[in-house]
Amino acid sequence: MVDEIMAAIDSVNEGNPLSRIIISAPRSAANAYKKIVAIPIMLGDKEVLQFSFHTADKVFHYNLAGGYIRLKLEEVADLGYKQWEVDCGANSFKLLVGKKGNVVRINEAKPVKIAAPRDHNRSKNYVFKDGEAHELLIALGLMSKEGRVFADKQKKFRQINKFLEIMDSVVSHVPSGAHVLDFGCGKSYLTFALYYYLNFVLNKNVKITGLDLKEDVIKHCNDLAASLGYENLHFHCGDVGTFDMGSGCDMMITLHACDTATDFALNYAVKSGAKVIISVPCCQHELFSQIESTQLAPLLKHGILKERFSALLTDALRGQLLEALGYKVSIMEFIDMEHTAKNVMIRAVKMRDKIDKDKLRAYHELAGEFSAEMMLCKLVREILSV
């Protein structure tokens, strides 16, 4: 069945470019995705195929290129959908998939005007735009004085806009005059962009403090902040597990803090009563040597699969624990897998102070299933016991 579907899609030639695939009518009612739509879009100067997975109330997007497109289509075919509509102009057709996997192609020759792939970068009202000179992006070395983003900085430029797009969904929970902490800030491209967005676009008058271990990086960031006149943006050299930030924070960001450094940052945020937490974990090694499972032994015996599963389990447990602590948690894709494999973001918004015992029980059940003991759970244990 998969081969027949893929052969039909591959039959699209250059004279009839693909404009859309609609996959619908799931054979099983248990299938979470009621419809899947794939359309070509432009990311910078590169064309990709954007997959939109529709559930009853949400839509999840994946942007894929090259061989990853075929892998995703094969994965979708295995989920079992009755109908595939392939729109490619005069050569458009529909595929009907029977119960036994037999595929019937219905040609729908019709004159269809094919639009050029949509420009994903220009379809949204981004804070920063390629072609518009901006003092901050020029100072960060991303943009020329004429306003053009340098070719080798396009990924970082898109990452900044994506980050601010995500921030836009939580800024209503960040009060004016708030204190934002960025643990493991590194070169601070996103920190500077967030400072500009919160203070000069939204006028929230926030203070942002960045923390990192590298003294030369911290000096560079402080010098840059001073040159830009960003009076409430300061950077310090120190370790996330021991550094005293004083009065706590209203919002905590930790991007690519390695292994349990993420847990120490989350612990600080929780105990500070942070309203918003944004975390992109990195190098989740803690559970690799811990997890055990008889049922999953065929998976865990392979090092690379065990490593990936450990990372997923780590972030699932972190998210569940934050929910038990009163946060509404979303675990989402930050940027495309094409850019980096470390692209899972935990977004948490404080909704209540009371411990949710049912969610805490679910956390312990999942952790117990794999004999996992999380650093974050150890750090917040006194809060959980209240």
pLDDT at res. 9: 65
pLDDT at res. 31: 78
Mean pLDDT, rounded, of the chain: 83
pLDDT at res. 335: 63
pLDDT digits (tens, 9 = 90+) for 321-360: 999 999 999 888 776 434 444 578 899 999 998 999 999 9
Architecture of domain 125-384: 3-Layer(aba) Sandwich (3.40)
Domain boundaries, the chain: 2-119, 125-384
pTM, rounded to two decimals: 0.66
Alpha-carbon distance of 108 to 190, in angstroms, equals: 48
pLDDT at 95 over 80: yes
Alpha-carbon distance of 348 to 15, in angstroms, equals: 47
Q: Which residues of 81-101 are buried (b: 16+ CB within 10 A; e: fewer)?
A: beebbbbbbebbbbbebeeee
The stretch 127-148 carries a mean pLDDT of: 90
Q: How confident is the model at residue 5 (pLDDT cuts 50, 70, 90)?
A: low
pLDDT at res. 324: 95
pLDDT at 176 over 50: yes
pLDDT digits (tens, 9 = 90+) for 197-255: 999 988 899 999 999 888 999 999 999 999 999 999 999 988 776 777 666 789 999 88
Alpha-carbon distance of 277 to 270, in angstroms, equals: 9
Per mean pLDDT, which range of 52-56, 132-136, 272-276, 300-304 is the poorest?
52-56
Q: Which is more confident, 232 or 1?
A: 232
pLDDT at 12 over 80: no
Q: How confident is the model at residue 111 (pLDDT cuts 50, 70, 90)?
A: very low
The stretch 26-36 carries a mean pLDDT of: 83
Whether the CB-CB separation of 107 and 93 falls below 8 Å is answered with: yes
